[in-house]
Amino acid sequence: MLYTEQTRRALRLAYDAHHGQTDRSGLPYIHHVLHVAEQMTDEVTTVAALLHDTVEDTALTPDDLLRAGVLPEAVEIVRRLTHASDVPYLDYIRALRDNPAAVAVKCADLAHNSDLSRLTHVTEADRRRAEKYRQAMRILQTTEVVAALIWDGGRFLICQRPAHKARALLWEFVGGKIEPGESGAQALARECREELGVDVAVGDAFCDVTHCYPDLTVHLTLFHARITAGAPQLLEHNDMRWIAPREIDRYAFCPADVEILRRIRETYA
């Protein structure tokens, strides 16, 4: 574990806060906290990992942590990691995805909590809980991607991926990954400027899909969008086309787009 003045302060706070608590295997709870902290690589996430359960499971509050001199950015991570009882669990998990530091701590927490070898006796309830945690990890490790459904009359815009990138020369919708702090609409507007040199007005979502590639899992949301300024340019892609729904089968698309294309055919053919 990384030892600094801040991590030592957090360790003392965690030890005192969790004193007398045990985990499901009957061991002192601080052992779980230390295991999670040992997976971190910087001071802020180490502090947050040491304190990740203090607000949810002890009498400490975020204000108490701030008054104790804990780094404000670490306190914010702890606040994000605190699961409010009135929020469905997977909604709480999904809300963490825009904070990479919180995701790092939570994934380490979930990995340790889903390790059934820690338990002397494993029950069916334990197995169900571990599966819930694994589902949460899959959500946190999924890349959020947005794309644009841009029409020109009865045709929509598709772009061909560059030859040097993964899924080379397959066709796709313009778009890309949501960066930390961005909404889906903000990310899509940025991607359209970067990839096509156009400004767009982003409308409602048409549909969304989740797809597992060998190298990553993506949750792709396709938004209706309209070009408000500029003409599409090949700034990143190999080619672009405007196609009608009946022409979809003429092109080899990225696998994540297959279900989306089926829905476009059903809706617009």
pLDDT tens digits, 189-199: 999 999 999 99
| CATH no. for 5-140 | 1.10.3210.10
* Domain layout of the chain by residue ranges: 5-140, 143-268
d(CA 247, CA 262): 12
Kindly tell me if the per-residue pLDDT of 138 is higher than 90.
Answer: no
Kindly tell me if the per-residue pLDDT of 69 is higher than 90.
Answer: yes
Say if residues 269 and 246 touch (Cβ distance below 8 Å): yes
pLDDT tens digits, 105-129: 999 999 999 999 999 899 999 999 9
Tokens representing residue 244 in the block: 């009608």
Average pLDDT, the chain: 95
pLDDT band at 141 (very low <50, low <70, confident <90, very high): confident
Say if residues 237 and 198 touch (Cβ distance below 8 Å): no
Amino acid letter, residue 239? D
| CATH no. for 143-268 | 3.90.79.10
**Which residues, 6+ apart, have CB-to-CB distance to 87 below 8 Å?**
95
Global model pTM greater than 0.85: no
Tokens representing residue 58 in the block: 């002890």
